[in-house]
Structure 1
Amino acid sequence: MKVKVRKKGGQGGTPVFIEGDFIRLDALLKFACVAQSGGQAKLLVQEGEAAVNGVISTQRGKKIRPGDTVTIQNSVLKIIGAQKDIK
């Protein structure tokens, strides 16, 4: 599944917009520029540095969906689904 992520600054967390039903935790960290590479994202997750909805997750393939919040390295990422154009 192809997922596009774009990051915007915001108050109370950084909204991350995704297209698709979900994004894997390690891919989210890479695309949101929290990790510089997939390998670094893998290590951050395996070392228990990421919390999904307040619960530490060591599953790098964990599915992150719109409405979820990911906290890592003093950053809060709020996951938002793609906005559809209304015609």
Structure 2
Amino acid sequence: MRDVPIRDDMIRLGQFLKLAGAIDSGGEAKTAIAAGEVQVNGEAESRRGRQLHRGDVVGIDGEQLRVA
């Protein structure tokens, strides 16, 4: 599991994926999320705008990213 620090109290899922380097663009995030390739706290997530808070864990391509 890799910790990805954020500046504020909250970050949106699409922004977090870009910050973590898991995807390169918002369009790529939209595609991956729509295809069911992204999980938040172990459950598939379909909303690119989902709010994430410290401690949430995002899974993509077999990698676990924790909001820190």
| TM-score of the aligned structures, taking structure 1 as reference length | 0.75
Which of the pair has the greater relative contact order for Cα pairs under 8 Å at 6+ separation? 2
Q: Tell me, which stretches of 5 or more residues in structure 1 are unaligned?
A: 1-12, 81-87
Aligned CA RMSD, in angstroms, stands at 0.7
Moved over 3 A (4+): none
- Give the Cα separation in 2 of the matches to 1:61 and 1:36: 16
Equivalent residue number for residue 44 of structure 1: 32
> Matched residue pairs, number?
68
Q: Tell me, which stretches of 5 or more residues in structure 2 are unaligned?
A: none
| Structure index of larger Rg | 1
- Give the Cα separation in 2 of the matches to 1:64 and 1:46: 18
Q: Percent identity?
A: 38
